Amino acid sequence: MNRFWSSVVHTLTPYVPGEQPKQTDLVKLNTNENPYPPSPKALLAMSKEAADTLRLYPDPNADRLKQTLASYYGVKSEQVFVGNGSDEVLAHTFLALLKHDLPLLFPDISYSFYPVYCGLYDITYQTVPLNSQFEIDPADYQLPNGAIIFPNPNAPTGRLLPLSVVESMVQQQSNSVVVVDEAYIDFGGESAIALVDKYPNLLVIQTLSKSRSLAGLRVGFAIGHVELIEALERVKNSFNSYPLDRFAISGAVAAFEDKAYFTETCQRVMTTRERLADRLTQMGFQVLPSAANFLFVSHPDRDAAELAALLREKAIIVRHFKQTRIEQYLRISIGTDEQTERLLNALSAIFN
């Protein structure tokens, strides 16, 4: 509390990101970063940006990146919005498209940044419980609403809604904007971007932080009908003309151009995920089916918070959420095969 603060600041409850420890010898499986480095072509493109042209502002519209994304996904450039990480894209989306008289709906177990944006922009919302299998059931969203947002695959559960089910929801909710946050879609899902030309109420948001190993670069994007994108551009141009710097634009373009590297690293993550899921199941864990680069697991005989603390003592960090319904679960990011072995060895030691 401070008398110089604007009144809104007193009421904010900011998002708390997963720990980024200074200690470097840890097996870091807590924030869903990709264990593989970015494409070497992306690194090269960025190194070329360290030049005298840095005295000039970057392209405020990041046209080169929008064109790259548009041709990659088979849409028009005016259907693409880019921002400083998908968190910024989400923030602009909440203000531009999700603030209505009727409540915004999102799942009770979901990305914990959503209620934070609602607090920041004074948006009324209502959470919709996942079913007992931790699935999103579109029938539960047939409530009066101003808009809907959910991640697919959902976080932190990893559960995927098939594209046909996403489509039926977008169809049913034709009077509401439906935002699908596809931060993890490249690890086994089918993107709803394929549907944006059919549904003017659909906005799809993605990030380069997970499947393209560029969490440190901060690039995210949204694809939808030109009029939804226009709303985002209005907010962006009332906030920051240059959210993407020269490194981000060049690195993101090169990352999308290197499809072979992207396909190979995603495949490796998915292979390791299935192997880890099998091994954890053998150890007695309940493992939710995951289409993301993490597993959401619980053990009937072990307290999740205690397990996280014991792993931490062995220099392995995983994510535990102190939240009702999921306090007995751990979210474990998929690492390299070597990190996975270290995790499994540590768990064996704890169980014996």
Ligand X SMILES: *Cc1c(COP(=O)(O)O)cnc(C)c1O
- Does 209 bind ligand X (CB under 6 A)? Our answer is yes
The least distance separating ligand X from the CB of residue 85, rounded to whole angstroms, comes to 3
Within 213-232, the residues that bind ligand X by CB under 6 A are: 215, 220
Pick one of 73, 94, 111, 150: the residue that binds ligand X (CB under 6 A).
111
The least distance separating ligand X from the CB of residue 43, rounded to whole angstroms, comes to 18
- CB under 6 A: which stretch of 21-29, 80-88, 191-199, 239-247 binds ligand X? 80-88
- Does 117 bind ligand X (CB under 6 A)? Our answer is no
Residue 18 burial by Cβ neighbours in a 10 Å radius (0-12, 13-18, 19+)? middle
- Does 98 bind ligand X (CB under 6 A)? Our answer is no
- Does 203 bind ligand X (CB under 6 A)? Our answer is no
What count of Cα atoms within 13 Å lies in the side-chain half-sphere of residue 308? 21
- CB under 6 A: which stretch of 13-21, 52-60, 84-92, 189-197 binds ligand X? 84-92
Within 240-299, the residues that bind ligand X by CB under 6 A are: none
The least distance separating ligand X from the CB of residue 345, rounded to whole angstroms, comes to 28
- Say which residues have a Cβ less than 8 Å from residue 161's Cβ, sequence separation at least 6: 135, 136, 150, 152, 153, 154
Within 24-63, the residues that bind ligand X by CB under 6 A are: 32
Give the C-alpha separation, 351 to 281, whole Å. Answer: 14
Within 155-174, the residues that bind ligand X by CB under 6 A are: 155
The binding site for ligand X (CB under 6 A) comprises 32, 85-87, 111, 151, 155, 181, 183, 207, 209, 215, 220
